[in-house]
Structures are given as structure tokens and as C-alpha cells.
Amino acid sequence: MHAAAFVALLLAAAPAWPQSQAQPEAPSGWQSRDAVHAKRFMVAAANPFAVEAGVEVLRAGGGALDAAITVQMVLGLVEPQSSGLGGGAFLLHWSQRERRLRSYDGRETAPAAAKPDRFLGADGRPQGFVDAVVSGRSVGVPGVLRMLELAHRRHGRLAWARLFEPAIQLAEQGFPMSPRLHRLLEGERELRKGAAARALYYGADDRPRAVGTRIVNPDYAATLRAVAAFGADAFYTGTIAQDIVRAVRGHARPGDLDAEDLAGYRALERDPVCLNYRGMRVCSMGPPGGGAAVLQLLGILERTDFRGAAPNSAAALHYFSEAGRLAYADRGRYHADPDFVAVPLVGLLAPDYLDRRARLVGERSLGRAEAGQPEGAQATVDVPETTLAGTSHLSIVDGRGDAISMTTTIESAFGSRILVRGFLLNNQLTDFSFATGAANGIAGGKRPRSAMSPTMVLGADGAPQVVLGSPGGPAIINYVARTLAAMIDWRLDAQGAVSLPHGGSMNGPTQLERGTGYEQLATELRARGHEVRLGDLTSGLHVIERVPGGWRSGADPRREGIARGD
């Protein structure tokens, strides 16, 4: 199909954004979803335009990896607050032909000049939010393009350049401002201070353009044209790279990223981490990703009375929260870039260690759990979780049985707020720990720890049974683990599991999603010793599960994503 006709199809197929959705209760409001069924293939992602583009790639004979590239390029345009060329990603790829699961690391890296005191003030204390995040010093070397290029060389079916056409045409012809993007722009104070971003997203009254207004981004289209024609080298070297360096080093709070940092970036293939849960093989992204914490949480949970507790009961939330405290405590001490730190991964997931951790779970809350001592652990310090979250997730299965789970991010919503060539740069370096002596401390070339946990559950035949993941900052680990527990223990389908109210702990207060009915569980949880806090827990789960005759998918009602397939 001709690219212009394809974009016209996208604009017609994607739902219109009614003005009534412009002021939702949470970042995107709650939009009820029904489970989606398909016989051959499925795409679930965070925006209808991206999903429709991915579906068309699969219809044209592309594979899951091809569709993932197209989906990411469109997401970088239509939800720039969450991911894009200026960020990083983790990707799981299942090859049905090879019967093999691979994981790819496109996490950002710190500039070679980065030092441990990067985000400390003159008094030795961590800098404030604006000083640390909205600055050139927070920008890591973007990794998503190199990662996608590496994966495409191994798994791609369609030509690289073909995969950029939908996003290029949509950027040139324009897309309608969505309610979610509009709402986030309303609450954002720093982005509009940049002339390019202000001209792109704001009107003459300095307010975000109205929902439905067509947003045209020719700079993004030009960037994609260069990458489509010349590969990722067009981004990491040459004039695009020069503009990135100039923007970072010329910021009012300048950074030290240079051309050599960009030219030297390498995406990596890493071994997935896997663990059995209730007889199912759960596999995810190892360090510096968050998958090991998901697996540890599930491993501890399996050893408690969780399965005997009634679904959605205070008892079930108690056990889940306590397992989370223990997993997050170990994550805070031990998880980091394994190329710089000896992460005791085998010890953390060893059955006898999980047994010991699970024995700490009683009928009353631990309050705050201490990190354990798994085999292979080295001395380091504990670091609490940060709360920034500007991330997206996509799940895809194709007609040949290949599957993709990819979580992609620029860290905070709108990243560093630095717009270059039509895309935003990440603030990923604030994911490093500021504390001296931490495993996740900053160093030149190091990748910051991440909670992103693209995950697959492999069935009895060894092929993917469930493909899932979520945005949500450090809470990603809870979102993914709870969704899996709901599907495996409570037998919920994909849509039922992602629509469940959220509850859990990151080794602090037990958080309950407000406005969901979970408030009524607070009294019983407090009686068990929990400090309970109510708030918005805005996951963005996208789940695809294998069912007789094809696939069934669920998209998170908290955001504007959908699932589609044939």
C-alpha cells in the first residue's frame, strides 16, 4: 500500500478523541475494554495509531520484530512523553523456527565523563528535581535504535526503510492531539520553556493545543528519513549526533555527553532470566532490567498462602505486598549493570534462598524488609526506589508464532525536556543511585538499573503462552507480577487481569489504587500492620495470551492503548 494511503487508513481506523475525555480522573482516565480475539496475529500497544501501523506491517508479511519497529516509531511521534528515539528499551524475542527466546538490551549508557557526584550539590546532598532531571547532565546515550537495528538484522523480514514509512507520513501529515498527551502537557511546566517544543505542542496563549488539533512534526519525519535510508549510523554519527551533543552541552544546566559517546554505543544481547511459577516457565529481562525482581517476587509468593486467599481480598494483598517488600529490598541493594557489578542473580533466585525469604512472611507486615544475603552477594548499600515514569510497552505475536515483548522509555514524562530534531532526549541518568557505594552508582559507560520487565510465559510446548509488560516506573515489577498471579492463580483472562485494581508495596507503604473499591481493604490491612496509602497507580499493561484457535489480548483501561489482530 502507498504510504499516503496507509496514513489515511490509520487516521480513519483509529478512534476519534472526544473532548469529554480531556479531563480524566487519572492521566488517561478509565476507558472500559473488552478482550480482543484474533486467529493469526495480534498487536497491543499504547496508542491506536501505533497499533494500526503494526497490524498493517503484519498484514504485509512482516514479522513481530518488523511490527515492533514500526510501532515504536509511531509511538515516538504520538506519545512523545513516554518513549522515542532519544530513549532506550529492553526487548524479548521468541523465534518459533529456532524455538529460542532472546533478550536485547538497548538501555542508555552514561557518558564516559560521568562521575559518582554527578547529581550532588555543593553540600553533598542530592539535587532537586528540576536541577537533576531538566538538564543536560541527566541525558544518557540513547539505545533504542541500535537495539532495534541489531534485532532487525537477526529477525527482520521486511526491509528496514519500509518500517519507517507510516511514522514519516503521519509526522508530515499530522496526527490529532490525544486526551492523554493534552493532559500531560497541561501539567508540564518545563517543556514549554523550550522554543521548539512550545511551537510544536502549545498555542499562542501558552496552553497545550486542544484535543483533536492536528500536530505536524516535520523535524521528526526528516530524522526518520535519514535513519530509514542510512541505518542507525545516521543517528549516532553525523549531523543528528552533532545536534544532540550541541543541545546537551548547550543547555542552561549543561551535560558532558560527546560525539564519541554516541558513536561508541553498542546494543547487547543478554540471556533472559527464567523461573518456574506454579509449573509455568516465566522468563524476563535480567539486570540491568527488572525481570529478576519479578521472578523473585513470584518465587516468594509461591511459597506463601497467597493461592489459598480469596482473590482481591486483604489477605491476598497482604501476601503479595510482603513478597514485594522482600524482592524490592534485594533489588535496592544488589541490582545494577552486570558489566560493572557482580549481581548475585543465581543466588537471588535459588530455591533455598527463596525458601528463607518466604519464611519471613507472616500474618503481620514486615513494615520495611531488610535485604538478604544470597550466595555470591558482595557488600554494598541499600537504595530506595525513585518514582519517575515516562515509559511505554508493546506486545506482538505474528502469524508464524514469533513474539515480541518490548518496554521502552525516556524515563520521566517528557524526559529531560530537551527536544532535538523532533524527538525528546531521555533523563535516564537520574535512574542511577545518588548514594556513595551503591551497586547502581553512576560510572562512565554504565547502564542505570531499570524496573522495565518485558516478560513471556512459556507453555508446556515451550512456546509463548503469555506475552506482557507495562510502564509505570519501579511499580512495573508489581504490575507485571500481579498480572501473572491473577492469570495463573485466579484464572483471569488477559483483559480481566489488566483491569484488576492495583495493590502492592515497593518496600515502603502498601499502595492501593484509589477509586477502585480497594479502599475498603485498608482497615484490615492496617490491622495487619500495613501503612496504607491510596493513589493513582497508572500502569499501561499490554497482554497477549494463547488460547485455543488463536490469541486473546487485554489493553490497560488506564491509558489509551488498544489491541488489534486478524
Q: What is the DSSP letter of 120?
A: B
The answer to whether the beta carbons of residues 395 and 543 sit under 8 Å apart is yes
- The CA distance from 194 to 202, in Å, is 11
The residue type at 460:
A
CB neighbourhood size of 525 (10 A) = 21
What is the Cβ-side half-sphere exposure of residue 202, based on CA atoms within 13 angstroms? Answer: 20
Tell me which residues are annotated as active site: 386
The residue type at 428:
Q
Nearest C-alpha neighbor of 90 from the set 463, 562, 442, 470: 470
Grid coordinates representing 159?
Answer: 526491509
Opening angle at CA 262, ends 261 and 267, nearest 5: 100
The end-to-end CA distance of the chain, in Å, is 18
The distance from CA 31 to its chain's CA centroid, rounded to whole angstroms, is 21
Give kind and range of the element (H or E) at residue 523: helix 522-527
Grid coordinates representing 260?
Answer: 564519541
Q: What is the DSSP string of 144-172?
A: HHHHHHHHHHHH--S-TGGGGHHHHHHHH
Q: What is the DSSP letter of 70?
A: H
